[in-house]
Structures are given as C-alpha cells and as structure tokens.
C-alpha cells in the first residue's frame, strides 16, 4: 500500500504584515515533529508556477490570510467548493491561482483534495510583523491547523 502524502502550503507576503500569516504558520509548524509523508512548504506569494508540486500529493492544506468580512482574527476552514462558489473572489488574495494550480495538476494526472485554513487579516502594510490582533490569535490559528492536519491524516478518504 502506498502512503498518501499531505502538503501543508503557507502562502502570503511577509513584507505586508498580516498578509504573511500563512508563511509564518508553515514556518512554525514545520519545526514540529510530523510523519515523513507530511511536507511543509513556504509558498510565499506563489502563482501557478508551483502547480507541479500538487501532483505529488493526495491532499493540499493551504494556510493563508482570508478576507471573509468577519472580525480580524476570525479563523476559516474552506474546501475547494467554497472557493469556486465565491463569485466575488473576496475570500482570499490567492484563491484564483490556487484553483488554476489544481486544474493544471489534474491535467498532469493528479488532482489533490484541497482544504484552506485561513484567518481574517487586520491590516496589510509595509512592515514585517503581524498586527497585535493577529499575533494574539496566532496560537489558536496554529492549533486549528494542527487539528486539521490530524483530521486529514486520520480520514478514511485521505
């Protein structure tokens, strides 16, 4: 039996305060002890250029700042359909590239399952740190991500 692989992909721009929260999260979680079939990648402000990574995985968990119109620090769990059904594209800065990357991976023969764990940002500005609001919410964000990783690894559909 082949071991299924999980990619945890942090995206965002650490130069723009809360926009970098996904990158900070993947960097922090990558320091922890995980099974060898779980990979952590800093995707930065990725474009479709990294779609080739997707074909190596059965599940992709994306960590990102997500604009959903709620209070800063609100944590979201989204599946691919949530992004597709979001006609005004207000959920995230990166979801269009993300869906395109999944489609390209499918053309190459393997489309992984997608989950996004996001957090509502407070501010995007030229500074390399999280706002105090997101810094306070960051430990809970990490815990939600850890739980999602465990859920994915223990899922019968994974």
User: Which pLDDT score, from 0 to 100, does residue 48 have?
Assistant: 59
User: Which pLDDT score, from 0 to 100, does residue 17 have?
Assistant: 95
Residue 158 located in a structural domain: no
CB-based burial label for 69 (10 Å; 0-12, 13-18, 19+): exposed
Strand partners, 41: 9
The mean per-residue pLDDT over the stretch 65-74 comes to 92
- pLDDT score of 96 more than 80: no
CA distance 16 to 1: 43
Residue 45 located in a structural domain: yes
pLDDT tens digit string along 100-157?
777 888 888 888 999 999 999 999 999 999 999 999 999 999 999 999 999 999 987 7
CA distance 115 to 59: 8
Residue 1 located in a structural domain: no
The mean per-residue pLDDT over the stretch 18-39 comes to 96
User: Which pLDDT score, from 0 to 100, does residue 89 have?
Assistant: 46
The mean per-residue pLDDT over the stretch 53-73 comes to 91
pLDDT tens digit string along 74-91?
999 998 888 777 655 454
Residue 63 located in a structural domain: yes
Q: Which residue range forms the structural domain that includes residue 58? A: 6-153
Instruction: Give residues with Cβ within 8 angstroms of 93, minimum separation 6.
Output: 12, 19, 64, 65, 67
Number of domains in the chain: 1
CATH number at residue 21: 3.40.50.1450
Average pLDDT, the chain: 87
Q: What is the pTM of this model?
A: 0.90
Residue 131 located in a structural domain: yes
Token pair, residue 81, equals 């359909």
Q: What whole-number percentage of the chain has pLDDT above 90?
A: 61
Residue 58 located in a structural domain: yes
């Amino acid at each position: 039996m082949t071991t299924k692989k999980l990619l945890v992909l942090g995206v965002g721009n650490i130069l723009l305060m809360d926009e970098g929260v996904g990158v900070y999260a993947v960097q922090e979680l990558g320091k922890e002890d995980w099974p060898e079939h779980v990979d952590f990648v800093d995707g930065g402000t990725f474009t479709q250029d990294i779609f080739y990574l997707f074909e190596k995985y059965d599940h992709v968990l994306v960590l990102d700042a997500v604009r959903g119109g709620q209070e800063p620090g609100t944590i979201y769990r989204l599946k691919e359909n949530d992004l597709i059904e979001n006609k005004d594209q207000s959920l995230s800065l990166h979801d269009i590239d993300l869906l395109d990357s999944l489609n390209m991976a499918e053309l190459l023969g393997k489309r992984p399952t997608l989950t996004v764990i996001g957090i509502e940002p407070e501010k995007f500005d030229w500074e390399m740190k999280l706002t105090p609001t997101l810094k306070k919410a960051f430990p809970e964000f990490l815990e939600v991500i850890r739980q999602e990783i465990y859920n994915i690894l223990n899922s019968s559909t994974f």
